[in-house]
Chain A
Amino acid sequence: MNAVTAEPILKVKDLSTTFQNDKAGLHVLDQINFKVIESEFVCILGPSGSGKSTLLRIIAGLLPYSQGEIELDGEILNGPRPGVGMIFQNSNLMPWRTVIENIQLPISLQNGNILDADSPQKLIDLVGLQGFEDVLPRDLSGGMAQRVAIARALVQNPDLLLLDEPFGALDAITRERMGEELLRIWNADQKTVIMVTHNISEALYLADRVLVLSDRPANISLDLEVTLSRPRKEEMRYTKEFGQFAKQLRAAIG
């Protein structure tokens, strides 16, 4: 919001990626450039197979990149970093761990040495799963499972939250409700959020900025500042302004 003064926490410069899975190689990302400032909510839109997940996995440090440069918190990125929370499309819970045990996973992996870790119980409350602490993932609905995944990503109190189509597998109503909750959490402690989605309305409703990836090999075909006022309200989805933004994004996706 104060884009002029704030220092970017993430800088992506001339990022290109090719998967070497066959002789030809699959050129996925081509000269990607963008910056994200602190506590900004950025959505990445793009056609399926354009490389959105690839881009997010690179930022998470899960995938090495060969060309270009990524700077996170002022340091060149070369692997997974603490302080980055990741939320996947399927909730990606461990089926043998209960809800609370899944949420505790990040803490137990650091043997409890996370400086400002949140208490798992507080997160249970935050995502509204009171009473489900000892339930196994198999007994959760899709929306509840994704809430657990959100709580798990938040427990280590990350500065950067990466979400890869987190609500893609949910029905429309649950999806909107989860979006509301994500906004509420983001409002509460102003984390930086980068979220991949293929839903235009969702991107507009949530984001400060929407990046549109083109077809493969993908570059950024549109970098759109969403100037809708905050807090966002349900009715905004039906305003003319919202419609115009949506049209613009639709055209950019092609």
Chain B
Amino acid sequence: MDRVKKNMNGSRKNHWSLIPITGILSILIWYFVVWLGDFQAFILPTPQLVWLRFIRSLDDGSLLRHFSVTLGEVMGGLAVGVFTASSLGYLLARSRKLERIMSPYIVASQSVPVVAIAPLLIIWFGPGLTSKVIICSLIVFFPILINTIIGLRSVPEDLYDLMRSLQANRWQIFSLLEVPAALPVLFGGLRIGATLSVIGAVVGEFVGADRGLGFLINVGRGQYDTSLVFVAVFSLVFMALALYGSITLIENKLLKWNMRPEQRILNDT
């Protein structure tokens, strides 16, 4: 057992130690490309310039301001999207009839790209937070809906029988059986949804906004401040990674029972 543990840990450490190596390698390649093409800074800035721009926008507080605006939109959209999609998913999973009536519309709605209707939403709801939250929740909606339905359909019929034979009421069946049983699949949807929500917020800000990281990208482009564009893009990547990581962390805490044995060993140490 002990040997297994060590090996597992070892391989995990190796895996993480790759990140700085690949990071340094990418930066070197980046330098090399700039040097090779002899690009001007507004076409492709050096990593050093991007770093200096990053420090500057941190110092004047603008980066943090725009970052938190976008984060608010992403989280708001995620919350609204998850709530509506999982509620509807619950109803559809409970009723085959309702699913048959609704699913053509739901599938059809997915063929409308959110990018295409984003301008409409900005017209209707203004360039502020509301329109962005709606855009994010629309993008998040479908994967959460599907995963909710799949999760609930995966609850074993025998466990329903058990709960009914123990005279569980509707609420107990929901909270003690359906929610925990569907949670692993739902978390899968949540992870996809979180990254999609970041995309939604940026799309919304591109179309119409006066703040946020998407807005910052537009500003940088307009002023030929390409370093600023890079700073904003890296911030978005960081945001998506952080969200994904937090969700995985919560999942690991909450769903220990659902992990593969080697994952549990890692988690305990």
Instruction: Show the binding face of A for B, using Cβ within 8 Å.
Output: 57, 60-62, 80, 82, 84, 86, 88, 90, 92, 94-96, 105-106, 108-110, 136, 138, 156
Contact = CB atoms under 8 A, between A and B. Distances in A.
A136 B180 CA distance: 14
Determine the interface band of chain B, counting residues with CB < 8 A from chain A. Answer: 20 to 34
A110 B176 CA distance: 13
Nearest to A156: B166
Contacts of B177: 94
B262 interface: no
Contact of A88 (B161, B167, B176, B256): B161
B38 interface: no
Given A61-B165, A95-B258, A90 B159 contact: no
B172 interface: yes
A109 B161 contact: no
Chain A interface SS verdict (over half): loop
Given A80-B164, A136-B256, A136-B257, 9 more contacts: A62-B164, A80-B165, A80-B167, A94-B181, A95-B257, A95-B258, A105-B176, A110-B167, A138-B257
Nearest to A61: B165
9 contacts: A62-B161, A80-B164, A88-B161, A88-B162, A94-B159, A94-B176, A96-B255, A106-B166, A109-B168
Interface of B: 156, 158-159, 161-168, 172, 176-177, 180-181, 255-258
Nearest to B162: A92
Contacts of B164: 62, 80
A84 B165 contact: yes
Contact of A86 (B156, B165, B172, B180): B165
Nearest to A95: B257
Contacts of B257: 95-96, 136, 138
A110 B255 CA distance: 26
A62 B165 contact: yes
Give the residue among B161, B168, B180 with the most A Cβ atoms within 10 A: B161
A80 B173 CA distance: 15
A94 B167 contact: no
Given A94-B177, A95-B258, A138-B257, A105 B166 contact: yes
Contacts of B256: 136
A16 B163 CA distance: 25
A96 B156 CA distance: 13
Nearest to A91: B158
A86 B258 contact: no
Nearest to A138: B257
Nearest to B169: A109
A92 B159 contact: yes
Given A80-B164, A88-B158, A94 B172 contact: no
B159 A109 contact: no
Contact of A109 (B172, B181, B255, B258): B172
Contact of B158 (A92, A96, A156): A92
B168 A86 contact: no
Given A57-B161, A136-B257, A109 B167 contact: yes
Give the residue among B161, B166, B172, B255 with the most A Cβ atoms within 10 A: B166
Give the residue among B158, B163, B255, B256 with the most A Cβ atoms within 10 A: B158
B159 A60 contact: no
Contact of B258 (A57, A62, A90, A96): A96
Contacts of B258: 95-96
A214 B180 CA distance: 41
B19 to A, nearest CB: 32
